[in-house]
Amino acid sequence: MDLKELIAASSLNLTDIQVSQADKYLNQILKWNKTRNLVSRNLRKNDLAEHFLDCAVLEKHLIRGSVIDLGTGAGFPGICLGIIDPNRELTLVDSNLSLIQNKYCLQGIQRTRCLVKKFGKQNHEEKQNNFNGF
């Protein structure tokens, strides 16, 4: 099934604008994935549409407030959540933010910001040191 069919068969109630944003997002992933390793090169648009829907369904289970998507990669689930709930404040964090994320942070989703941050061993050790006194 394509994106519109999946959304129609789901319990999601999206506007035409949201469906259009989602479709453009999936097209951008396919476009940029040709030169960058955002998702598996074997994925087709229908596969990405299913992944979008899986992420979008999360919205029903989130409490109100902001969301941080650590290691956002191609923007799953962060950008999906931003399309589903444009009023939710989102922060997408990755060590290498893609052009897709930057495009959506700058124009596609209003309440989204992108941060380039590398998490790894150093951050883990710092976190461990913060808990040594307890």
* pTM of the entire predicted model: 0.78
Give pLDDT, residue 108.
Answer: 62
Give pLDDT, residue 55.
Answer: 92
Distances in Å between the Cα of 50 and the Cα atoms of 6, 26, 116, 123, 125 are: 7, 11, 27, 34, 37
Cβ neighbours for 19, distance < 8 A, ≥ 6 positions apart: 3, 4, 7
Mean pLDDT, residues 7-35:
89
Give pLDDT, residue 129.
Answer: 34
Give pLDDT, residue 74.
Answer: 84
* Residue 101 pLDDT exceeds 80: no
Domains of the chain and CATH, by start: 3-120 (3.40.50.150)
Give pLDDT, residue 126.
Answer: 41
- Which residue, 69, 19, 31, 26, is CA-closest to 48? 26
Q: What is the pLDDT of residues 33-90, one digit of tens each?
A: 888 778 888 899 999 999 999 999 888 889 888 888 888 888 889 889 989 988 888 8
Separation CA 93–CA 32 (nearest Å): 19
